[in-house]
């Protein structure tokens, strides 16, 4: 069984790592890896391959950055002749980035069976590019592997036959649990000049937060208040760095002694910083899940989440992007508010095993 696995952007790498490792255990599977090149900076891509032992991609399409339509089209144009040549028995895509949707479209057009890992998540917010990617990919997939039960419900409501849907758990948590021991052995916070539980960690990259200067400025206002109570470590996504510069906000932000800008971090450093933080503030999808497993309070700077189990069972709380609500959320946590701390069902480190078992059974 020749399986083509597709990756493109940073959050794909920790999801594909356990799948590739599991597939390589079986002689009846020939797993190949294609990197679309959506992310290409070393600290957004290569570093994760090294840290997570992901094999060097068999092919790199090197598409780079552009508008969503341009990027999607470039990936499709480059992938079609390659899939035609390699003729895999299956294409596996993960997550919800442009590379995921582009590859799903090409596989479907070539009648190659398609598996989507992390299927069924819905924010019900079609202004999010990822929501479009999720809906298109799920409507084309033959195997839909879900991380939480809400995903099954969403897919059934959209008319996906039940025999295509498989609730398997969360491959990103497979990677986290595998690396946990490694980061527990090091005091990563100390390397960044902070003590455990005495700092906050912030990540921002959603277009809805960083592309509108007023919204971005409001979030930085909240950080100006917050850093007086708790140092804030802020690894900057390239898009965010660019937007802060364009909006002329670096001058003001650099006067804040305890808002500390960092370069994008590798997987182990970021995981280590999350695990020792007092709280995490983010607009990422995956970080809501990782903080849930780590038991660290998470404030999500969005009005909705496609991952509701992180609220009902985990440590996540939605606070939106307005300064007052962010600060109120921070104060609640500093006052001792604890979120739930259950581990969602099947987030146990064995999701990749379940997925590969189902694919081989087929
Ligand atoms: C993408 C995904 C998003 C995911 C995020 C994680 C889509 C629609 N969005 O958003 O779901 O959460 O990745 O990071 O697929 N850039 C660099 N170096 C790189 C990559 C990007 O400098 O290696 C800069 C470029 O200026 C680029 C911008 O970042 O235009 C945005 O990159 P892009 O891949 O288009 O979207 P992300 O915001 O990273």
pLDDT value of position 185: 81
pLDDT value of position 332: 96
Catalytic residue among 35, 39, 166, 205: 205
* 155 pLDDT above the threshold of 90: yes
Q: Could you tell me if the CB of 241 is within 6 A of ligand 1?
A: no
Q: Read off the pLDDT band of 341 (50, 70, 90).
A: confident
Domains observed in the chain: 2-169+347-361 (3.40.50.2000), 185-334 (3.40.50.2000)
Q: Could you tell me if the CB of 94 is within 6 A of ligand 1?
A: no
Tell which wins on pLDDT, 58 or 340.
Answer: 58
pLDDT value of position 77: 98
Q: Could you tell me if the CB of 65 is within 6 A of ligand 1?
A: yes
pLDDT value of position 252: 85
Q: What is the 3-state secondary structure (H, E, C) of the chain?
A: CEEEEEECCHHHHHHHHHHHHHHCCCCCCEEEEEECCCCCCHHHCHHHHHHCCCCCCCEECCCCCCCHHHHHHHHHHHHHHHHHHHCCCEEEEECCCHHHHHHHHHHHHCCCCEEEEEECCCCCCCCCHHHHHHHHHHHHCCEEEECCHHHHHHHHHCCCCHHHEEECCCHHHHHHHHHHHHHHCCCHHHHCCCCCCCCEEEECCCHHHHCCHHHHHHHHHHHHHHCCCCCEEEECCHHHHHHHHHCCCHHHHCCCCCEEEECCCCHHHHHHHHHHCCEEEECCCHHHHHHHHHCCCEEECCCCCCCCHHHHCCCEEECCCCHHHHHHHHHHHHCCCCCCCCCCCCCCCCHHHHHHHHHHHC
Q: Helix 267-276 and helix 171-184: axis angle, to 10°? A: 80
Q: Could you tell me if the CB of 134 is within 6 A of ligand 1?
A: no
- Among 204-208, 209-213, 337-341, which stretch is predicted with the lowest mean pLDDT? 337-341
For ligand 1, atom 35, name the residue with the nearest CA: 65
Looking at residues 326-341, what average pLDDT do you find? 91
Q: Could you tell me if the CB of 97 is within 6 A of ligand 1?
A: yes
Which atom of ligand 1 sits closest to the CA of residue 95? Answer: 11
Residue 336 Cα to ligand 1 midpoint, Å, equals 35
Residue 206 Cα to ligand 1 midpoint, Å, equals 9
For ligand 1, atom 15, name the residue with the nearest CA: 97
Residue 196 Cα to ligand 1 midpoint, Å, equals 30
Comparing C-alpha atoms, which of 328, 192, 191 is closest to residue 258?
192
Residue 167 Cα to ligand 1 midpoint, Å, equals 29
Looking at residues 336-354, what average pLDDT do you find? 92
Please give the model's pTM, rounded to 2 decimal places: 0.97
Tokens linked to 140: 């084309």
Is 205 annotated in the active site?
yes
pLDDT value of position 181: 85
* 301 pLDDT above the threshold of 80: yes
* 338 pLDDT above the threshold of 80: no
pLDDT value of position 89: 98
Q: Give the tens place of pLDDT for each residue, 110-144.
A: 999 999 999 999 999 999 999 999 999 999 999 99
For ligand 1, atom 3, name the residue with the nearest CA: 97
> Among residues of the chain, what percentage have pLDDT more than 90?
95
Q: Could you tell me if the CB of 7 is within 6 A of ligand 1?
A: no
Q: Give the tens place of pLDDT for each residue, 272-297.
A: 999 999 999 999 999 999 999 999 99
Residue 104 Cα to ligand 1 midpoint, Å, equals 19
pLDDT value of position 186: 87
pLDDT value of position 312: 96
Q: Could you tell me if the CB of 250 is within 6 A of ligand 1?
A: no
For ligand 1, atom 28, name the residue with the nearest CA: 239
Q: Give the tens place of pLDDT for each residue, 3-53.
A: 999 999 999 999 999 999 999 999 999 999 999 999 999 999 999 999 999
For ligand 1, atom 26, name the residue with the nearest CA: 239
Q: Could you tell me if the CB of 44 is within 6 A of ligand 1?
A: yes
Q: Give the tens place of pLDDT for each residue, 167-209.
A: 999 999 999 999 998 888 888 999 999 999 999 999 999 999 9
Q: Could you tell me if the CB of 137 is within 6 A of ligand 1?
A: no
pLDDT value of position 356: 98
Q: Give the tens place of pLDDT for each residue, 59-107.
A: 999 999 999 999 999 999 999 999 999 999 999 999 999 999 999 999 9
Residue 9 Cα to ligand 1 midpoint, Å, equals 7
pLDDT value of position 270: 97
pLDDT value of position 27: 97
């Amino acid at each position: 069984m020749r399986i083509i696995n597709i990756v493109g952007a940073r959050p794909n790498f920790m999801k594909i790592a356990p799948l590739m490792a599991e597939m390589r255990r079986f002689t009846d599977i020939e797993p190949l890896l294609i990197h679309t090149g959506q992310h290409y900076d070393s600290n957004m891509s290569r570093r994760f391959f090294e840290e997570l032992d992901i094999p060097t991609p068999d092919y790199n399409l090197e598409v780079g950055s552009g508008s969503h339509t341009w990027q999607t089209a470039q990936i499709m144009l480059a992938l079609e002749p390659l899939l035609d040549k390699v003729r895999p028995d299956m294409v596996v895509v993960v997550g919800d980035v442009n590379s995921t949707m582009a590859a799903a479209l090409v596989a479907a057009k070539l009648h190659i069976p398609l598996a989507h890992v992390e299927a069924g998540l819905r924010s019900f917010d079609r202004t999010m590019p990822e929501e479009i990617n999720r809906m298109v990919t799920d409507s084309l997939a033959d195997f839909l592997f879900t991380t939480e039960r809400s995903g099954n419900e969403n897919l059934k409501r959209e008319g996906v036959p039940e025999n295509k849907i498989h609730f398997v758990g969360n491959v990103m948590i497979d990677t986290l649990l595998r690396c946990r021991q490694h980061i527990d052995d090091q005091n990563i916070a100390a390397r960044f000049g902070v003590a455990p539980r005495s700092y906050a960690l912030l990540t921002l990259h959603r277009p809805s937060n960083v592309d509108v200067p007023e919204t971005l400025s409001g979030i930085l206002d909240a950080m100006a208040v917050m850093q007086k109570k708790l140092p804030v470590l802020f690894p900057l996504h390239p898009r965010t760095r660019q937007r802060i510069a364009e909006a002329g906000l670096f001058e003001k932000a650099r006067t804040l002694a305890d808002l500390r800008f960092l370069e994008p971090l590798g997987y182990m450093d970021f995981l280590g910083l999350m695990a020792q933080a007092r709280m995490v503030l983010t607009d990422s999808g995956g970080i809501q899940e990782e903080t849930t497993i780590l038991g660290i309070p998470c404030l999500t700077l969005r009005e909705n989440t496609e991952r509701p189990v992180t609220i009902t069972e985990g440590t996540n709380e939605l606070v939106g992007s307005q300064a007052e609500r962010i600060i109120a959320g921070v104060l609640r946590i500093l006052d001792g508010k604890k979120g739930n701390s259950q581990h969602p069902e099947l987030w146990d480190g064995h999701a990749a095993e379940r997925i590969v078992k189902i694919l081989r059974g087929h």
